[in-house]
Amino acid sequence: MNKKNQFTYTVYYENTDSSGLTYHTTYLEFAERARSEILSLHFPDVINNLKKNTFFFVVKDLSISFLKPSFLFDKLTVKTEFENNSLASLKLKQKIYNSENKICNIAVHLAWIDGKKKKPSRIPNNIISRFKLI
């Protein structure tokens, strides 16, 4: 696992119910934030395309397994790994840990969209090759 693709977030009050238990949507928010961090660190060209609405990734499919709960002020680490790709999409695995304990598994399938045509498009090879390194 590339340590550059590990991001730690604190569970704040806004992320919990009145008992201090983390909302299920918080895990999705932290996973999305980690994917955005990866784009920011490794894919400035994708960020530029996204800002121009020319090409971008969208979530095609997502599955999540909640293994253990987390609570107010826990520090959660999101680890992201490349799984595989097709011509117009890629799959990532994201695992969320509380200390050394894995608490959540997320599988996300991202489609590469042509913003002008509003349909899937072939992902450039230089983007796929960089994702394979994460």
Arithmetic mean of pLDDT, 7-17: 97
List phi, psi (to 5°) of 12. -105, 170
Query: Residue 28, exposed/middle/buried by CB under 10 A (0-12, 13-18, 19+)?
Result: middle
Of 17, 45, 61, 114, the catalytic one is: 17
The CATH class, in words, for 3-131 is alpha beta
Query: Residue 116, exposed/middle/buried by CB under 10 A (0-12, 13-18, 19+)?
Result: exposed
Domain-wise residue ranges, the chain: 3-131
- What is the reported pTM? 0.93
Q: Is a pLDDT exceeding 80 seen at residue 74?
A: yes
Catalytic residue flag (residue 45): no
The 10s digit of each residue's pLDDT in 36-54 is 999 999 999 999 999 999 9
CA–CA gap between residue 10 and residue 1 (Å, rounded): 21
